[in-house]
Amino acid sequence: MRATWICYYCFLILNCYSTTAQPPFDYPTANLSTTWTNNESLPESFKFIDGSRVRAVFLRGSFGPKFACGFYCNGTCTSYLFSVFIVQTNSASRIVQPVIGFPRVVWSANRDHPVSDGAILNLTST
């Protein structure tokens, strides 16, 4: 049931970008086709004290634990997974180090085939 909810949530986020209607809440927006490169220049690139790193493409909401999606690595960061994760944010909608714990990955794509630094994510209407 939980996996179904996560997939449904991801579908809702990504599907709202394929229409011209306004998103129903405070979802971030993107025009199709949009491309992101996995590198330090992403606006929400954050390294945690345990060595894990997130490079958020979409970050929803501010202040507190929030869902985001983007590139995630754990450890040496020689490879990354495109993931949906929960991170702590401050009132300025910036990712911050939580008091306890680290980013929690709730879903990832192609777990057996991570990507490297410089990988390109391209969202298209197809």
Alpha helices of the chain — where are they, by DSSP H?
A: 2-15
Query: Tokens 């945690």 — which residue?
Result: 48
What count of Cα atoms within 13 Å lies in the side-chain half-sphere of residue 22?
3
In terms of Cα–Cα distance, which of 6, 83, 4 is closest to 38? 83
Confidence (pTM): 0.70
- For β-strands 81-89 and 64-73, DSSP reports them as antiparallel
Burial 70-94 (b: 16+ CB within 10 A, else e): bbbbbeebeebbbbbbebbbeeeee
pLDDT given at position 32: 60
**Cα dihedral angle (71, 112, 86, 11), rounded to 10 degrees?**
90
Please give the structure tokens belonging to residue 6. Answer: 């996560």
pLDDT given at position 29: 63
Q: How far apart are CA 116 and CA 114, in angstroms?
A: 7
pLDDT given at position 106: 94
Q: Which residues does the chain have with pLDDT short of 50?
A: 1-20, 23-24
pLDDT given at position 11: 43
Please give the structure tokens belonging to residue 78. Answer: 């020689």
Classify burial at 8, counting beta carbons within 10 Å of its beta carbon; exposed 0-12, middle 13-18, buried 19 or more. Answer: exposed
